[in-house]
Every structure is written in structure tokens, then in C-alpha cells.
Amino acid sequence: MTAKLADNDVIDFLRDLSNWGRWGEDDRLGTLNLITEDVRVQAAGLVRDGTAVSLAFDIDPENPDVLGRGSVVQRFMQLNEVEAIYGQPARFDAVREYVGLIGHGSLTHLDALAHFSWDGKNYNGFPASAVRSAAGSTQLSIHQVDKGFFTRGVLLDVAGTLGVPWLDPGRAITPEEIAATQKREGVTVRPGDALFVRTGNFARIAAEGAHPEGHLAGLSAANLPFLRERDVALLSSDGAQDVFPGESSNLDLAMPIHTVGIVALGLWLIDNAALDELARTCEQKNRWEFLVCVQPWRFVGVTSSVVNPVAIF
């Protein structure tokens, strides 16, 4: 098993694994550049029977706060819209609403590259100070992904490999377990892939409730070189990718997958994906690769978007 990395080794990843300048000094897409036209064509060829699986949870104010991060959705309804607009009712009527939400937190969401910084720098050296409370992110906002993307998706069901319904809270997945899962499933992660890692976090939460301190299973920082070497375009899990509590007591390294991944690699992350149905579908079909489509909202200045990724077989 891989020994826990020293803090300085993880910090060195910010330099040694960096993609800064790889796609130009003004690049704002990071690892999405790896989803080339050829990658998209090959991914489209994975569709065989048309089975579709959503990888998102409902956006519902009534849903429990499973991660203990506070209320994230508010909805206000306006009834009798016709009378409100025209001053009198009619035989037809309509309803509209205001919805407010926090993308980061318990919802299924895509992180923009402005979400994390290190020593005052975002991905590719853009200054974190360019993110303002009024204007938002002026350079690395989620609207940069204006076309959305689709690519080959791969599910690595680590919980399935270990023969357990879920990994315990605070359990760090090692590179050896990632390798063993690829071997068991007969898949190889390759450039431009969207990699989904299942820990069983939400199966555990459904059975036992959320951990009182928000502890979650996740990836060890030792997996970061693998993500860079395989040129993964998108990383997602049924949690926040990072393990909680972190492997290091150093607060600077509380979330190394997010910090090194977003800032150094320009890696796009989807937090809180719904992967249990996907795992069952993959098991039934004995297929662990699929076409995955992700269409974020074109929010300008915003550091995340709720998303509904769809896997198609």
C-alpha cells in the first residue's frame, strides 16, 4: 500500500504536475482541452442500446442536508401570475418562481477553475484577486464551458472492488486500489476521459445518515500523479473527491485533490455525483465505459454550476 505522502511532496505536485502554459498563456479550459474531436467521435461510438442514467440528485428544498453544509436551495412561488400582470384573472393562468441555490455544497455541481487558488493564483497563473464579490470571476468563470462537453466516461467502483457496500467515512482510496479496480473491470483510463470514482458515500448516508462531522471517503493525494499521467479531463465521485478529514493535519493541504487538481492541472471536478444506479447498470451490462454528457448553465462570473450529467450506453 502507498505510504501517506509528506506535506512537501504534495506541495511539490503544484509545480511538478502543472499544466500551466500547456495550452497557451491565456488558456481558461484546462483539462477540457483533452476532449478533442477524435475523443468525442470515439466516445459517441460507445452508445449501443441507448440506456441512459442520470448522475445527479434532485434539486429539492425538502431534501435533507446530507453533508451538513447548510440549506442550499430556496424556492419562492408566484401564483395567479395572470392577475399579477394584467390586474384581473382570466380563464388561463400561470405560475412562476424564484429559485436560489448554492452550487457548492450538497448539490451535484461542476467546479469552475476559479473555485480554488493557491498563494493568490488560480489555474494558469490568473490572479485570484480578479474574483470580486460584485463582478464575480472575470477570467475563469463557469461560462467558459459554453458548449458543454461529452466524452468517454469510466466508472471505477472501488467499493465494489473491495466487496463492501461503502467505504467508511475518512477512508482514503490508494493508487493500488484504483489500479485493482481498473483490472477487475477490464478498463484503462485514458486521455480525455471523465473518471467517476464510487465510494458508496450516498448508500451509506441513506442507510446510516450523514456523519455528524461531515466525514467522507475519498481519494488519497497519492492519486494526483495518476490523474496527470493519464490526462483525465474530468474527475467526479459520490462525494467531494477529497477524503474528509484530510490525510494531513496541515490546513493548507486539507483538500489536495481540489487544490492541486484545479489550480495546477486545470482539472474539472463534479462533486456529489449519484453513482449507485450507474454502478448497478455497469454491473448488469458488464460495461464500465459509456458516453457521458455534461451541460453546465452559462452563468457569467460564477465558480460553479449545478449539472445533470447523463451516462448513455
pLDDT at 182 over 70: yes
Q: Are 268 and 187 in contact (CB under 8 A)?
A: no
Q: How far apart are CA 248 and CA 92, in angstroms?
A: 61
Name 24's Cβ contacts closer than 8 Å, sequence gap at least 6: none
pTM for this one?
0.95
Angle in degrees, CA 192, 196, 198, rounded to 5: 160
- Where in the chain are the domains? 7-58+105-312, 70-103
For 228-274, the pLDDT digits (tens) are: 999 999 999 999 999 999 999 999 999 999 999 999 999 999 999 99
pLDDT at 43 over 60: yes
Mean pLDDT of the chain: 94
- So what's the pLDDT on residue 42? 98
pLDDT band at 290 (very low <50, low <70, confident <90, very high): very high
C-alpha cell at 239: 462525494
Q: Are 109 and 270 in contact (CB under 8 A)?
A: yes
For 264-285, the pLDDT digits (tens) are: 999 999 999 999 999 999 999 9
Question: For residue 193, how far is the Cα from the chain centroid?
Answer: 13
Q: How far apart are CA 264 and CA 124, in angstroms?
A: 7
pLDDT band at 134 (very low <50, low <70, confident <90, very high): confident
pLDDT at 220 over 70: yes
What distance separates the 2 farthest-apart alpha carbons in the chain? Answer: 72
| 7-58+105-312: CATH topology | Glucose Oxidase; domain 1 (3.50.30)
C-alpha cell at 229: 499521467
Written as one letter, the residue type at 148 is G
